[in-house]
A and B are shown apart, each in its own frame.
Chain A
Amino acid sequence: MTLDLNSPTGAARKRRPRSATSLTRSSGLGLGIALTWFSLLVLIPLSLVVIQSIDGGWETFRQTLTNPQTAAALRLTVTQALIVTAINVVMGTLIAWVLVRDDFPGKRLLEVVIDIPFALPTIVAGLVLLSLYGPDSPLGVNVANTERSVFLALLFVTLPFVVRTVQPVLMELDKDVEEAARSLGASRFTTVRRIILPSLAPAITAGAALSFARGISEYGSLVLLSGNLPLKTEVASVRILTYIENGNEAAAASVATILLLVALAAIVLLQVLSKWVARRG
């Protein structure tokens, strides 16, 4: 018997031919232009934020963050973003599941509905929520100017992230694998828990990271809805804005740097996850 016992990964590796080539002259020029633009637009301005926050020395940084109003804003932002992300993990996965596995009239309409929070201007999102959950709510639920308004706004604007990351993975998921689990004796519940959810886990985490990053940086949808009450409904972005308006750019940069670091952490997490998925194949 001459099985290929000793060329384990050979077959798997060979199937992925290297499609990328090294730079040619014109593509090198293109890369140069692209990088210049990207630097001028994104990298340099963001670096200046970090530099500005360090510029004032550690003391400014510390003072800003220990300012009770700022600390409360950061705490509120992070807490609400975490709660919302947790809900998105559950509801987003469930929505993706229904969109992929269920079929009913109007399903395509729901597909569009999912994208609305992406497409809607954030200020309009605030207005939209205000119309149902504001002072003249037809439901009689008025959350305007309370902590719950922050929660609601974040829930609205972050809704698509988990759905849109999980959905394609769920679509690609091989039915054979579920059937295999069943033929091995796994119940429906066990199959979901041990086969489907682990396959979706990287996508769910990726969506959660995006949703959290968006949550902590949200501003527009809160403007009309939360009332920006200091110590109560004021979020980190609003604090930054107030510092800017007061001309205290160093303090604004300090809070901004914190937000940037969290955003960066989310991106690193995403990158690690996608590498992990790529390795798993």
Chain B
Amino acid sequence: MGIEIRGINKNFGDFVALEDINLSIPSGQLTALLGPSGGGKSTLLRIIAGLETSDSGTIEIEGNDTTNVPAQKRNVGFVFQHYAAFKHMTVAKNVAFGLEIRKKPKDEVKRRVDELLRLVHLEQFSHRLPAQLSGGQRQRMALARALAIEPSVLLLDEPFGALDAKVRKELRNWLRRLHDEVHVTTVFVTHDQEEALEVSDSLVVINDGRIEQIGSPDDLYDRPASDFVLSFLGPVTRLGDHLIRPHDIDITRYEHAATARGRITRWTRVGFEIRLEVTPDDVLHPDPIQVVVTRSEAVALQLHEGDLVWLRPRAGVEELSR
């Protein structure tokens, strides 16, 4: 069940937006479509919502073929990056919109709106206009509006993209908790790998109109199927012949069976983390290697800028690829 996507193709002129997409999104889960801008993930989301039509392929939502069903009949909740608030309506009216379209009785609409506004913590703002809300509040209103119609799936297109870093983090946690409460099949599009890893049950990495990999956050982070997925999900550096995450490098000031040797040529402290750049003296691999250690590790190892150090992958870490 959930969402079944089969053989979706979409071109804009000669630009291939999506190429033979096959994907099944399980019911009740929170799935992230992750990828760089322009990779096709928003187009896929819009095709699921019916806001865009695919050139070929089929979409099934909860077992019903919706390929040719217009957007307004799909019962899909959609949340936009820029909120798409109905500016001339109060918060309560915004949330009630979908219910009024469905001609629900007045008292039911009111009950449902109150319930949803409580859910998104906007109950005291019900009579405000969207212009009087902050960005984060507007997005929560948009979410309540989308949930009001009891959608079979909830789709979010870069929902936190327009918010500043702090609010984005808060809303992200909050979305996760909300989903644990509401359990609606949810798909959200993001280009922020941290957001995707933190919030989702499963991840779909999309690049250049194709699916690169599908899996749980752990799967993708630890067992990326391609260099693209590896480097997209977090920082990587090249140690010897392999790509590796900078915090998976073991660093010492004593000679041992090391993959590389060099001097610490840069030292940047970011909070509890210290980011080092080691310039190897190996003529075959002269590119600087990025290493991340915690502050306490650096103190314990008595590291200083200019020190000669030896590097190797930490025990238990598979070298990811070439």
**What residues make up the interface of A, taking CB atoms closer than 8 Å to B?**
1-5, 7-12, 174, 176-177, 179-187, 190, 194-195, 198-199, 201, 279-281
Bound together, the chains give a CA A10 to CA B135 distance in angstroms of 10
Given A1-B170, A4-B134, A4-B136, A186 contacting B82 (CB threshold 8 A) = no
Tell me whether A3 and B146 are in contact (CB under 8 A).
Answer: no
Tell me whether B142 and A198 are in contact (CB under 8 A).
Answer: no
Q: Which residue of B lies closest to A194 (CB)?
A: B97
**What residues make up the interface of B, taking CB atoms closer than 8 Å to A?**
49-51, 70-78, 80-89, 97-98, 101-102, 121, 125, 128-137, 140, 142, 145-146, 148-149, 167, 170-171, 173-174, 177
Bound together, the chains give a CA A2 to CA B88 distance in angstroms of 29
Q: Can you list 16 A-B contacts (CB < 8 A)? A: A1-B177, A3-B136, A4-B134, A9-B133, A12-B131, A12-B132, A177-B84, A179-B51, A179-B71, A180-B78, A181-B86, A184-B145, A185-B75, A190-B101, A280-B129, A281-B129
Tell me whether A12 and B133 are in contact (CB under 8 A).
Answer: yes
Bound together, the chains give a CA A281 to CA B134 distance in angstroms of 12
A190 CB contacts on chain B under 8 angstroms: 101
Tell me whether A198 and B88 are in contact (CB under 8 A).
Answer: yes
B134 CB contacts on chain A under 8 angstroms: 4, 7-12
Tell me whether A184 and B97 are in contact (CB under 8 A).
Answer: yes
Q: Which residue of B lies closest to A199 (CB)?
A: B88
Determine how close the nearest CB of chain A comes to the CB of B173; give it in whole angstroms: 7
Which has the most chain A C-beta neighbours within 10 Å: B89, B131, B177?
B131
* Prevailing SS type, chain A contact patch: helix
Tell me whether A186 and B72 are in contact (CB under 8 A).
Answer: yes
B74 CB contacts on chain A under 8 angstroms: 183
A281 CB contacts on chain B under 8 angstroms: 87, 129-131
Bound together, the chains give a CA A179 to CA B86 distance in angstroms of 11
Determine how close the nearest CB of chain A comes to the CB of B314; give it in whole angstroms: 35
Bound together, the chains give a CA A3 to CA B168 distance in angstroms of 10
Determine how close the nearest CB of chain B comes to the CB of A14; give it in whole angstroms: 10
Bound together, the chains give a CA A168 to CA B167 distance in angstroms of 32
Bound together, the chains give a CA A184 to CA B174 distance in angstroms of 23
Tell me whether B82 and A174 are in contact (CB under 8 A).
Answer: yes
Tell me whether B167 and A4 are in contact (CB under 8 A).
Answer: yes
Determine how close the nearest CB of chain B comes to the CB of A268; give it in whole angstroms: 22
B82 CB contacts on chain A under 8 angstroms: 174, 176
Which has the most chain B C-beta neighbours within 10 Å: A2, A176, A177, A187?
A176
